Structure 1
């Protein structure tokens, strides 16, 4: 395996300055890095493995990324963006229907990315930077959910006694950890039973009745 050049660029070119070919190479490196991380794990992954998986020279990696940590950070951000993105729901959906649709969309995204989610959660336990990154993305979800809960409280659909932020945090933690134990740790469970139970518990926590469905 070729060794790293003596002088590798310390500051990769900004993404916006890349040509179409450069962007394609950068994307290929990101995809290759994900495959390497998923097969080798974060600690054992090496830059030369990523370059080899992408079919480029070792030094080419450093034109686009500063380090293994840099490319992992990019992958983590891409992952969180996909997993936590929400489709605009139809305006005629009730709060209960929106909550269920949101839970199911999150489940589908989590399942597609279960291997990377497992690695990100692992790295966040010993790396302060990635723990902060994970916290920031989780906070975005909590902020969005708590805003919806406040709105539903104003409409008299959700119990006014609930603290919107605490309720959002608790619901998010419940869904997140259940999916982690099921999809990452391999806990045996029936798919529909798990999803239906999560939906019912979230609806119950907010005091939404069957009429809102």
Structure 2
């Protein structure tokens, strides 16, 4: 297929009704994808779940792949902003790490089936794989900023590269969450939080530095 033959993604709706309809399609698509898996899901299943016509679907999306990306984008917002309990900046950095890990695991638990589908689709769709890498970079850079702040305050090992350390520690947390809530190991959230928080602290040298 020539590049000119590839349908362009649809733009955002311009009316309140359009926003509601698109959101209903995304919600319906998530239900279908989680129930049937990506490969087995059909557009007719999504439109039936959303109680709309195929024509309505094509008003907002060009393909099953595009609406799957929209589903994952909505999940990314929840994962990036999981409603972590407020922790004062002056509070013990250990408490900040613990609160962040807890919020991540609890959010991942709510999205475990979708996270499994994310890994599957990333192996068969290059565009989605690129987006998957971008999401991972967003997490890594956010955590790197926190590590850098602790280094600047003299709280953790200043010799650590913030972004590489963030990738390593974030990858550890992400893999544990995937094994537990996507693959079904079902470790208790409290145990996951306790272990990963201690590993973060030990890896960073938290408590061994002089401010």
TM-score where L is the length of structure 1: 0.87
Mind listing any 5+ residue stretches in structure 2 that lack a counterpart?
1-6
CA distance in 2 between partners of 1:90 and 1:109 (Å): 21
Could you tell me how far apart the structure 1 residues matched to 2:198 and 2:58 are? 49
- Unaligned regions of 5+ residues in structure 1, if any? 1-9
Counterpart-to-counterpart distance in 1, 2:112 and 2:106: 10
CA contact (8 A) 1:11 1:66 kept: yes
Equivalent pair of 2:10/2:62 in contact (CA under 8 Å): no
Matched with 2:23 is 27
Question: Which of 50, 53, 75 in structure 1 is aligned with 2:49?
Answer: 53
Query: Does residue 1:15 correspond to 2:12, yes or no?
Result: yes
Question: Residues of 2 paired with 1:95 and 1:145: CA distance?
Answer: 13
Give the root-mean-square deviation of aligned CA atoms.
2.0
Query: Structure 2 residue aligned with 1:153, among 151, 154, 157?
Result: 151
Give per-residue Cα distances to partners, 1:77-97, cap 9 Å, x unaligned. 111111122656423322221
Distance of 2:189 and 2:100 partners within structure 1: 16
Equivalences for 1:139-150 in 2 at 5 Å?
A: 139-150=137-148
Q: Residue 13 of structure 1: CA displacement?
A: 5.8
How many matched pairs? 201
1:96 to 94, 97, 118: 94
Matched, 1:136 2:128: no
Q: After the TM superposition, which residues 164-179 of structure 1 pair with which residues of structure 2 at under 5 Å, given as runs? A: 164-179=162-177
Q: Contact (CA 8 Å) 2:148, 2:162: kept in 1 or not?
A: yes
Q: C-alpha distance in 2, partners of 1:134/1:89?
A: 29
Shift of the 126–158 alpha-carbon distance from structure 1 to 2, 3 Å rule, reads same
TM-superposed deviation, 1:146 = 1.1
Query: CA separation of 1:187/1:156 partners in 2, compared to 1, >3 Å: closer, same or farther?
Result: same
Larger CA deviation: 92-101 vs 134-143: 92-101
Cα contact 2:28–2:49 (8 A) shared by 1:
yes
Deviates more, 1:80-89 or 1:149-158: 80-89
